Structure 1
């Protein structure tokens, strides 16, 4: 009999800590739009709901596809995967995926109606990206392109598209700096996940970037992503910028040190720290926008 309560099982499936990534990108877009005198409370709420539902759908779809591929084995040291453990039925998981996709499509279609029809193509790309990440003839996460997918779908796509929907110029150079910064910080979440699951992925033929280049490569790429994310914020730098940046630097170094010194289940804490840091970076960006000279 399961020792987990039903709420714990559903939290294991939905993985709320991962919501920081999608939510952070939208908050950055909303904050930058507001700083440029583009704002709408209704659109902002819809964008936040869209980001949360997209992340949840992505999590569930990933678990569902990994379950069908047999990718979750006894080597797994990550957080609870209730489907692979048989603690939640396949029918329940499919129903949860359907609900998250309905919310995603409802918010997406509402935003399209309030903005431009061509955004339907962006919405379609997001839905396809959710399934192409772990499924299809060439699953990105199984071939070392997971981090690139995160940069695109948790950095460029949500930040630039959200800013455009709010009335901004999608070709704004500062906007792309911010989108890339959030995307790189978010990619580190997946990097830690792949670093932790190296043994299991090697056994199941999942050729993540860590499997391809070796475990020693992960901490170096983690540091590179973090440094680039901070450097890309230079358009927002002002006299007091370094005060705020120190907060992120300290948080980032704590997570990087944890990555270097941890193994197995201890890396789940590193994963949580990294997810937290994406949200911290988003708050730092909002602070820099507030301090930015007009």
Structure 2
């Protein structure tokens, strides 16, 4: 076996894991932990476990999407997005499917500790996250094929991820081992509001993806919101979600947080630039960079927001 073959195979697995999507996993943990710092309930090990679990679920979901889109015929030769390893023949479908299950199993193993800390609520959230990661493109009713992908990302990679990160740290301070219900004070309104910018910008990654793939999705029967309601709807959705993201700091400032919560406004020029591309272009040559830049916007906004909330 040659070194070239080894590098080629390693590169293929990196393409399948899609490490450029990891900001979507890290952002909610960073924001939830920043709020925990502000309120004095920081717990390092639950935070680390939450980050590891989020990354594993993200990667496993990427494997699932790569595999199920290929076997369902949604990835065609006309695809304008990033190369998929299953449809491209770079890795055998059975191996990608196996990697999906192994990575989800690792996420569950990581979650055992979080369940010990957070109890039944985290058990429910963890199992729902794994199930949704598989059924996003798999199962008898794939969420992404019926226009539910946006809601899935908003909920699981935004609201639940941020509030869950805060919850496990607060529970470590305010509750005993394995609580059967949500202890008082472990999910404050601030955690929910803090989750909205992350949820909104994370969802916009899917919005750009769906605009780019609209024509292909129509021919393969993938009924995303872009397919159902058209370009105009998806573009307004993108802009509306950004309004939600940039309005959230106003709530924190109005409820007593310092002016540092406005740090994310530094990212507005990037947001405006990407929005202009989304409103004017449909081809992959323009929207693939816009997809990456939306991920960069999520990372930059979340980091600045976290600093602003923590201090």
Superposition TM-score tier, normalisation by shorter sequence: over 0.9
Q: Any residues of structure 2 matched to 1:225-244 within 5 Å, and which?
A: 225-237=241-253, 238-242=258-262, 244=263
Shift in Å, 1:245: 3.2
Structure 1's unaligned 5+ residue stretches are: none
1:86 to 89, 106, 116: 89
Provide, for residues 216-258 of structure 1, a one-character-per-residue CA deviation record: whole Å limited to 9, x for no partner. Answer: 222211111001111122233333544x233121121121122
- Find the counterpart in structure 2 of residue 289 from structure 1: 309
Ranges of 4+ aligned residues in structure 1 off by more than 6 Å: none
1:248 aligns with 2:264: no
1:63 aligns with 2:66: yes
Q: Is the CA contact (8 Å cut-off) linking 2:67 and 2:96 kept in structure 1?
A: yes
2:36 to 20, 33, 36: 33
Secondary structure of 2:22 counterpart: helix
Distance 2:29 2:187 in 1: 17
Alpha-carbon RMSD across the aligned residues, in angstroms, is 1.9
1:214 aligns with 2:233: no
Distance 1:241 1:119 in 2: 29
1:164 aligns with 2:167: yes
Shift in Å, 1:177: 0.8
Change (3 A) 1:134 1:37: same
Distance 1:9 1:265 in 2: 22
Q: Is the CA contact (8 Å cut-off) linking 1:161 and 1:170 kept in structure 2?
A: no
Q: Is the CA contact (8 Å cut-off) linking 1:202 and 1:211 kept in structure 2?
A: yes
The total of aligned residue pairs comes to 289
- Find the counterpart in structure 1 of residue 76 from structure 2: 73
Distance 2:271 2:96 in 1: 34
Secondary structure of 1:193 counterpart: helix
Shift in Å, 1:170: 4.2
Q: TM-score, normalised by structure 2?
A: 0.88
Secondary structure of 1:83 counterpart: coil
1:269 aligns with 2:269: no
- Find the counterpart in structure 2 of residue 196 from structure 1: 212
Secondary structure of 1:57 counterpart: helix
- Find the counterpart in structure 1 of residue 203 from structure 2: 187
Structure 2's unaligned 5+ residue stretches are: 172-184
Provide, for residues 9-60 of structure 1, a one-character-per-residue CA deviation record: whole Å limited to 9, x for no partner. Answer: 1221011111111210111111111111111221111111001001001111
Shift in Å, 1:118: 3.9
Q: Which moved more, 1:168-177 or 1:21-30?
A: 168-177
Distance 2:133 2:66 in 1: 11
Secondary structure of 1:233 counterpart: helix
Q: Which moved more, 1:49-58 or 1:90-99?
A: 90-99
Shift in Å, 1:122: 1.3
Shift in Å, 1:102: 2.3
